[in-house]
Amino acid sequence: MYFDFLIPKRPVSLQTRKTANLQAWKQYVRAEAEKTWTGQFFTERNIQLTLVYLYSGDPLDTDNIIKPIQDALVGLIYKDDLIISDINVHRRPFSDTFDMTLLPILLVQGIVSRLECVYVQVSEPKRLEEYL
């Protein structure tokens, strides 16, 4: 089981000095997720959050985009972000070469749009041995 959605906007960094922008970003992320979320909470103790940040120009630090997105999904996708055991974050410029046949359709849509965005997927984690 997995859920994915696309945030069609440049992310806001956790380190922003403008807290109003950060709160607006979290609300925007939640609204984008709500557009397609139809399921029950993820309640398993271990879930995986995967983010793919597509950018042009100057990128943001990947570690600063995780927490705001993670927090925005609390109460909608999962009851508490404590159940997230695995986080995969990828940052790729649009100038990279992508094999579109191997990517989820929403990620392909983000690549084709050429607008900064974040692809989000919530799923069951892989076994540890698959990472190492």
Domains of the chain by residue range: 2-126
Q: Summarize the confidence of residues 98-119 as an average pLDDT.
A: 97
pLDDT for the residue numbered 1? 74
| 73-96: pLDDT as tens digits | 999 999 999 999 999 999 999 999
pLDDT value, residue 52: 98
Q: Which residues contact 117 (CB under 8 A, 6 or more apart)?
A: 6, 7, 8, 9, 10, 53, 54, 110
More confident residue, 66 or 131: 66
Residue 3 confidence class, pLDDT cut points 50, 70, 90: very high
Whether 107 has a pLDDT exceeding 90, the answer reads: yes
Q: 2: pLDDT confidence band, cut at 50, 70 and 90?
A: confident
pLDDT in tens, 19-77: 999 999 999 999 999 999 988 888 778 999 999 999 999 999 999 999 999 999 999 99
pLDDT of residue 131: 84
DSSP string, 71-105: HHTBTTTBS-GGGEEEEEEEEEETTS---GGGS-H
Q: Determine the pLDDT at residue 43.
A: 79
Beta bridge partners of 86: 48
Q: Does domain 2-126 have CATH number 3.30.1330.70?
A: yes
